[in-house]
Amino acid sequence: MGMSKRAAVLGLLAVMASPVAAQEAAVAEAVQGYMDFATYEQGIILPQQIDADVFAAAVFVDTRDAAQFAQGHIAGAVNIEWREVPARLGELPEAGMVILYCNTGTLSAQATFAARLLGRENVLVLQSGYRGWQDRAAYKP
């Protein structure tokens, strides 16, 4: 092995041995593991699937900001802004269906992904969000 190649390998090993690199590698491995086994529909619920039984069984979490929540939300929903979901994960039930939503499903999808990576497989994103629920929910109290 040439001297420059040896130096590059040693440098790479030094970086890989650092605690930060080890943590980043573990996170990357966890994300990849999740992505490898996630189905297309996993973690998603459609407004059309929310009938009276699903509505009664689910905990709804509005991931929009407090001002948007105050303007209107799904009845009984709690408000946890999407960025706060990982830090407030303990407030989400560990069992039963937990449905996260925002206006369109974009930000709540990020929060759902984070919650699922952190082990909450019972957390779903409402595809098309609050707007989709208003237009297409099978049940609205």
Give the confidence band of 9 by pLDDT, cuts at 50, 70, 90: very low
Output the average pLDDT for the chain: 84
| Residue closest to 128 by CA, chosen among 90, 83, 74 | 74
Res 12 pLDDT > 60: no
Res 106 pLDDT > 90: yes
Which tens digit of pLDDT belongs to each residue from 53-79?
Answer: 999 999 999 999 999 999 999 999 999
**Whole-model pTM?**
0.75
CB of 125 closer than 8 Å to CB of 44: yes
Q: Which alpha helices (H) appear in 18-117, and where do they start and end?
A: 19-37, 52-57, 66-71, 106-117
